[in-house]
Amino acid sequence: MKKIIAFIGALIIGQVLLAQATLPLSWNFATSTLPDGWSEDNVNTASTPYYTGSGNPAPAYKLDATGDILTVHVATTPGTFGYDIIGNSFSGGTFQVEESVDGTTWTQLHTFTAPTGSYTHFNETPNTASRYFRFYYQQKVSGNVGIDNVTIAAGISTAQEMLVSYNASTVVNGSTIFFSSPSNITTQVALDVQNLGLADLNLNTATITGPAAAEYSVTSSMPMTIAGQSNSSLNIDFTPTADGSHQAVLSIENDDVNANPYIINLYGIGGSYATEPTASATSLSFGTPKSYRINATFTPSDADGFIVLRRDGSAVTDSPVDGTAYDKGDMIGSSQVAAIGDISAFSPSYILANSQYHFSVFAYNGEGQYINYRTSDPLTGSATSAGTMVGASYYSGINPNANTFVTDLHNLINTHDIQFYSNYGQLMVERFFARDTSDNQRVITCSYSGLNEVYAQPFDWTTNDFAREHTFPQSWMPTVNDANFQSRPEYSDYHMIVPANQNNVNSIRSNYPLGVVVTPQYSYMGCKLGTDANGNKVFEPRDSFKGDAARCMLYQSICYTGVAYSGAPNTDCTYGGSWSLPSAINNTTIPYGQDQYILKAWHYADPIDNFEISRNDFVDSLQGNRNPFIDNPNYVCYIDFSNMSYILNPTFPCNTVAVNEVENNSSEFMIAPNPSEGVFNLILNAKQHHNAVIKIYDQTGRAIYTKNAMMNSGVNSIPVDITELPSGVYVMDITSDHYRVSDKLIIH
């Protein structure tokens, strides 16, 4: 697409749409948008090239499947061609660096059959006639190849070599320039024709054709000779007869064998805006929606491009404004730009299960401040994402009332495809977690704290201070001492790994158990670290992630229970059974373990939502297995996660022993669910029989609800219904002769 880059008096010049890269060239893959002249291709659509959080420095570009290709098409004579390359677990394959004169017939510059495991720089001396270079994963056996810091110097041809620029902006052969002039006023377009070669360059003719050719005229004398390493001006007059678009084609015949004729598309604007498109796109259709992806196609009308607005839950009522250029992710009223450009298909990011999405497609002509949208009759449509995508027979062999339930469930989900831990960024962050935001940026949320991190693509773990967090800490895993631990599936299981801020959150959680913090020692946004009612240091994530975290951890235990390993056992943790939640994490620093009842309580207090359904389905699409506690919430009640044994005839929900006993003047209680619609349970475990007063206060400190309750020895579950109260944040307070406790209450 074309964008405005310069303004000169009455004449406004737009960006050139480059078909080739100009030299000298340098790219370190700092953005995930391919520069002009670059293209990528892959034969194996199941595994595409991607940007990675590692590099020299990060990010870099990875090719990881047979047929993956990265190509650059340059406009002029190349000099030295340099690049950094690394092989990651590369073995037995062939990776080639090639050049071509015409982009069809390729010659090898370098063949790699064993690229080193660290970035190594190479310099190639290409044929001066070459205009194409590519990195080609010809045959993969195992591993991937990383590319970084690609440079191509400008060479000098002994023959003539033509290149055109406009106000210091390169106009490569076949590209388009934008400019404007008031109606019936003549404005000069001055092109700078450069001869980069050593021999004389001869321009024979310069002709203008096309619909608006009569409104253009070449005013420079032709023919024209430009000496080697010199330049000269080629002037064109533009006189628009009316407002709107006036397009023509300039063809310059010359004796540069690589650029004859030299074509420049002239896109002149009379007045302020391009001509509005005469028709909108038609035939908007959606493929079979998934719970995490919606793909749409439409039939384009005769227009320069299309902008797609998205609104979740209700129809789009907003329209783009003429003369305003938008980026993907920008907000227009209550709608967001889902896609823009010369497109006929789009796939919006961050799709959640069981949700309706509305779209409007607007045609436009022009670019930048010239852009003119057709807003009278946009193409509209909506799609509803799928609910859970679990196969109808996936759990057909599972009977929770069978004594073999634990083994059967483990066997069902344990066999799955392994995804690399290092690939989590491009697979999970870029394709699932990340959301579009303004200025063509994206945003990712820290699972534990709720921190929103805005970034420019590609996502980089170090730059954005994020980590791939093991909710079930790797130091707890029985296989941690295995020599190949980081290559084992349990280390990189995407069902259990979540994105989290590193320095303020992940490093603070460390390998402490999850629990309810009574005495905070550290807090960051929605999470905190401190001691629980028993005086043990625990980490508490934000409320809306507690159930998610619980299901991640319980999944890990059932998926890998009974898995054999080599190497010394993990003696740092004490287990009641294979892959059970540890009862002690470290005999000196953390001589206690993970309370399964806290996790089960959170599992019910923060039930499965559409986000988690989508995440389960998406990970299933990558790994080929599912988290059974998302698909079947009551399955958690049939398993004693302290020893991975079967529980016969459990009660539902099995969360009533999750709250620690009230002792002395301290207490711990739980509001479930919280947030809620106004109907919830107050759960409190009392040491003795007593009376208590329950009060709810609004933000002004006014008591708006009072209830006397008899607390029995043991766990008490008190129903509360305050649906008559407006949405907001409140404080619940429980007072007795033995204690006083309070917590924040959120009503939607």
Report the sign of the C-alpha dihedral through residues 299, 303, 307, 310, in that order. negative
Pairwise CA distance, residues 239 & 179, whole Å: 12
Q: CA nearest 630: which of 600, 603, 596, 652?
A: 603
Could you give the C-alpha distances from 616 to 55, 442, 612, 620, in angstroms and in order? 30, 22, 6, 6
* pLDDT at residue 666 greater than cutoff 80: no
> What's the pLDDT at 660?
38
Q: Calculate mean pLDDT across residues 674-702.
A: 78
Q: Calculate mean pLDDT across residues 215-220.
A: 98
Considering the entire predicted model, what is its pTM? 0.81
> What's the pLDDT at 53?
63
**Cβ 448 vs Cβ 542: under 8 Å:** yes
Largest CA distance in the chain: 105
> What's the pLDDT at 490?
96
Q: Which of 430-439, 592-601, 726-735 has the lowest mean pLDDT?
A: 726-735
**Cβ 97 vs Cβ 130: under 8 Å:** no
Pairwise CA distance, residues 494 & 545, whole Å: 16
Q: CA nearest 196: which of 124, 152, 258?
A: 258
Could you give the C-alpha distances from 171 to 168, 264, 274, in angstroms and in order? 9, 8, 21
Q: What does residue 620 show for φ and ψ, rounded to 5 degrees? A: -60, -40
Pairwise CA distance, residues 187 & 354, whole Å: 56
- Over residues 553-596, the pLDDT tens digits come to 999 999 999 987 777 889 999 999 999 999 999 877 999 999 99
> What's the pLDDT at 663?
37
Q: Which of 452-456, 482-486, 728-732 has the lowest mean pLDDT?
A: 728-732
* pLDDT at residue 277 greater than cutoff 80: yes
Half-sphere exposure of 317 (CA within 13 A, CB side): 4
H/E stretch holding 628: helix 628-631
Q: Output the DSSP codes for 106-130.
A: -EEEEEESS--SS-EEEEE---TT-
67 CB neighbour count, 10 Å cutoff: 16
H/E stretch holding 452: strand 452-455
Q: Calculate mean pLDDT across residues 336-357.
A: 97
**Cβ 156 vs Cβ 78: under 8 Å:** no
- Over residues 116-125, the pLDDT tens digits come to 999 999 999 9
Pairwise CA distance, residues 607 & 560, whole Å: 24
Q: Calculate mean pLDDT across residues 646-672.
A: 64
Q: Give the domains, in start order, of the chain with CATH numbers.
A: 4-16+158-270 (2.60.40.10), 25-154 (2.60.120.200), 282-384 (2.60.40.10), 405-658 (no CATH), 661-748 (2.60.40.2550)
Pairwise CA distance, residues 53 & 48, whole Å: 16
Residue with the bigger pLDDT between 334 and 50: it is: 334
Can you list the pairs that 468-471 forms with residues at least 24 positions away whose Cβ atoms lie under 8 Å? Answer: 468/421, 468/424, 468/425, 468/497, 468/498, 468/499, 469/497, 469/498, 469/499, 469/500, 469/506, 469/509, 470/496, 470/497, 471/496, 471/497, 471/498, 471/549, 471/552, 471/553, 471/556
Pairing status of strand 120-124 against strand 231-238: unpaired
Residue with the bigger pLDDT between 739 and 133: it is: 133
Residue with the bigger pLDDT between 699 and 392: it is: 392
* pLDDT at residue 3 greater than cutoff 60: no
Pairwise CA distance, residues 148 & 170, whole Å: 25
Q: Calculate mean pLDDT across residues 177-182.
A: 95
Q: Output the DSSP codes for 365-391.
A: ES-GGG-EE--SS-EEEEEE--S----
> What's the pLDDT at 68?
92
Q: CA geometry: angle at 551 spanning 545 and 554, to 5°? A: 140
Half-sphere exposure of 186 (CA within 13 A, CB side): 11
Pairwise CA distance, residues 426 & 11, whole Å: 43
Pairing status of strand 497-501 against strand 466-470: antiparallel
Task: Report the percentage of the chain scoring pLDDT > 70.
Answer: 93
Q: Calculate mean pLDDT across residues 388-412.
A: 97
Q: Calculate mean pLDDT across residues 328-340.
A: 97
Q: Output the DSSP codes for 525-587.
A: TTEEEEE-TTS-EEEE--HHHHHHHHHHHHHHHHHHTT----S---TTSB-SSTTPPPSBSBT
> What's the pLDDT at 10?
34
Q: Calculate mean pLDDT across residues 420-446.
A: 93
The pLDDT mean for the chain works out to 90
Q: Crossing angle of helices 543-560/405-414, nearest 10°?
A: 100
* Residue type (1 letter), 506: N
Pairwise CA distance, residues 748 & 745, whole Å: 10
> What's the pLDDT at 5?
31
Q: Locate tokens 């043990």: which residue?
A: 536
**Cβ 302 vs Cβ 354: under 8 Å:** no
Q: What is the 3-state secondary structure (H, E, C) of 664-701?
A: CCECCEEEECCCECCEEEEEEEECCCEEEEEEEECCCC
> What's the pLDDT at 475?
96
> What's the pLDDT at 4?
32
Question: Which residues lie closer than 8 Å to 456 by C-beta, 6 or more apart?
Answer: 31, 440, 441, 442
Pairing status of strand 201-209 against strand 244-254: antiparallel
Pairwise CA distance, residues 741 & 518, whole Å: 10
> What's the pLDDT at 661?
34
- Over residues 25-49, the pLDDT tens digits come to 999 988 777 888 999 887 554 455 6
**Cβ 405 vs Cβ 646: under 8 Å:** yes
* pLDDT at residue 711 greater than cutoff 90: no
Pairwise CA distance, residues 145 & 83, whole Å: 12
Tokens of 442: 């994206």
Q: Calculate mean pLDDT across residues 631-653.
A: 95
Q: CA geometry: angle at 488 spanning 486 and 494, to 5°? A: 90
Length reported for the chain: 748
**Cβ 47 vs Cβ 65: under 8 Å:** yes
Q: Calculate mean pLDDT across residues 440-447.
A: 96
End-to-end CA distance of the chain: 43
> What's the pLDDT at 422?
84
- Over residues 125-163, the pLDDT tens digits come to 999 999 999 999 999 998 889 999 999 999 999 999 999
Pairwise CA distance, residues 120 & 137, whole Å: 17
Q: Calculate mean pLDDT across residues 632-646.
A: 96
Q: CA nearest 336: which of 351, 617, 322?
A: 351
Residue 35, Cα to own-chain centre: how many angstroms?
A: 20
Q: Calculate mean pLDDT across residues 664-685.
A: 74
